[in-house]
Every structure is written in C-alpha cells, then in structure tokens.
C-alpha cells in the first residue's frame, strides 16, 4: 500500500499558509470524484505589481535538484489583470487553504 505521509520535501498547502502569515493561499477544489485537477504552471502576484510564472514547485527538490524555468515581470497592468481573472475563477475552481 502506498504511503500517505508527507515528506519535508513537499509541504502541504496548510504548511505553506502557516509559513506565509498574512498571505492568502489557495488550492484547487476537489471535484465530485474527490480528486483535484492539476495545473503544473505556478504563478505569484506580488503587491499588485510583479508577476512570477514558473515551472518550479515549492519544494526543496525543485530548489536543489531540478532544472526549472521562471519569468518575473514588473507589469502592474498584467498583475491586476491576472488577479482579476483569478478572483473571477476562485469560487468555481479554488478554495482557501486552512493554516491549521
């Protein structure tokens, strides 16, 4: 039987939310089958101004072992457009991760 325990290399969304106090950490809602759809691209909008899009996971192995590619854009209009689009999708696709 596969192990269901998490390793220190892959934090849960709750652990990420706990570490990023004050941040709103979202995760994909589970579907009717209980599975969460996956999107490999990651993005981050900082202070409504900076957009980071990357293939990197938030994990030690991604940081230390993988070859990843990311892009940082200082584009406030793009940042706002992404925030607006994601907020419109949130009720249908995402839920806020609990920090406990």
DSSP 35-80: PPP----EEEEETTTEEEEES--SSHHHHHT----EEEEE-HHHHH
The pLDDT tens digits of the residues spanning 23-73 come to 888 888 888 898 887 766 788 899 999 999 988 887 777 778 888 889 999
Enclosing H/E stretch for 93: helix 76-93
**Domain-embedded: residue 5:** no
pLDDT for residue 4: 56
In angstroms, the CA 11 to CA 33 distance is 23
**Domain-embedded: residue 91:** yes
Range of the domain at 58: 13-96
pLDDT for residue 99: 73
pLDDT for residue 9: 64
pLDDT range class, residue 98, cuts 50, 70, 90? confident
Q: What's the domain count of the chain?
A: 1
pLDDT for residue 1: 47
pLDDT for residue 89: 82
pTM for the model stands at: 0.56
**Domain-embedded: residue 7:** no
**Domain-embedded: residue 3:** no
Enclosing H/E stretch for 81: helix 76-93
pLDDT for residue 49: 96
């Amino acid at each position: 039987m596969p192990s269901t325990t998490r390793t220190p290399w892959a934090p849960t969304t709750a652990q990420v939310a706990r570490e990023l106090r004050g941040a709103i950490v979202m995760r994909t809602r589970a579907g009717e089958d209980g599975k969460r759809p996956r999107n490999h691209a990651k993005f981050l909008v900082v202070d409504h101004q900076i957009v980071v899009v990357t293939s990197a996971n938030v994990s030690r192995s991604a940081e230390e072992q993988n070859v990843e590619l990311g892009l940082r854009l200082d584009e406030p209009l793009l940042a706002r457009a992404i925030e607006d689009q994601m907020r419109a999708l949130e009720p249908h696709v995402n839920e806020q991760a609990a920090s406990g």
